Amino acid sequence: MTTEKNNIVSAPAGLGKKPVKKPAGNGKGKKRFAGLSRWLHIYLSMVSFTILLFFAVSGLTLNHADWFTSGKEVVTKDLGNVNIKWVNQLDTNKINKLQIVEFLRSKHEVKGALSDFRIDDSELSLTFNGPGYLADSFIDRETGKYELTVTRFGAVAVINDLHKGRDSGKAWSWIIDISAVLMTLVSISGIILICFIKKKRLSGFIIAAVGTLACYLIWKLFVP
């Protein structure tokens, strides 16, 4: 006697099931983008760690100058003579400015950039400026005698001037620009990363909005 079980014919595998459509690479694309954002955020933060820390600390020292002592100002004075032919010229265009500047740099190790060179009837005046540094020299055109006064304002003054980019030269100006770009990229990559963290996404954007609103209200209500 043939059983009912033996009369059952097996259906081909997968028959009657609807094929499931797989997303066309969307999941992989998002993972790659999230991974790239994470990579940028981590390594840009590490590359820019020192310079960002510097600008954070110097922003505090600059905003609260009364909290930090700039260090004792060190003033040194020197006297001497330059070659009278360099300065005693009827035609002031014949005065070799570069020669005078290089003489002061080599003899007294004057630093900073030349910010002012004035020629009067009786004397020359030169001013050199650098971060936390000032040097003034006055040269008598008739005798060639000069007086050089150098003032060093201390470590905190150097930090503050570097933060502001004052008298720090073109190379440091590039550092400021690069650090600004890095801070922007670190911030943007952090915002992108929070978008991929579902549990933290809403709270993260709420906190960012609260911080932005707080800064705006302080500026609007309390900044004169």
Q: Give domain limits for the chain.
A: 28-67+158-222, 74-152
The conformation of residue 2, written as its DSSP 8-state character, comes to -
Q: Which residues of the chain have pLDDT under 70?
A: 1-26, 70-72
C-alpha 139/C-alpha 130 separation (Å) is 21
At residue 105, the pLDDT reads: 95
What's the token pair of residue 3? 């059983």
At residue 2, the pLDDT reads: 47
Phi-psi category of residue 151: left, alpha or beta, with phi > 0 → left and psi -120 to 50 → alpha: beta
Cα atoms in the 13 Å half-sphere on the side-chain side of 44 = 19
Q: At what angle do helices 49-63 and 155-164 cross, to 10 degrees?
A: 110
The dihedral formed by the CA atoms of 182, 184, 189 and 195, expressed in degrees to the nearest 10? 170
At residue 18, the pLDDT reads: 55
C-alpha 74/C-alpha 198 separation (Å) is 58
At residue 4, the pLDDT reads: 47
Between the CA of residue 73 and those of 85, 132, 174, what are the distances in Å?
35, 10, 29
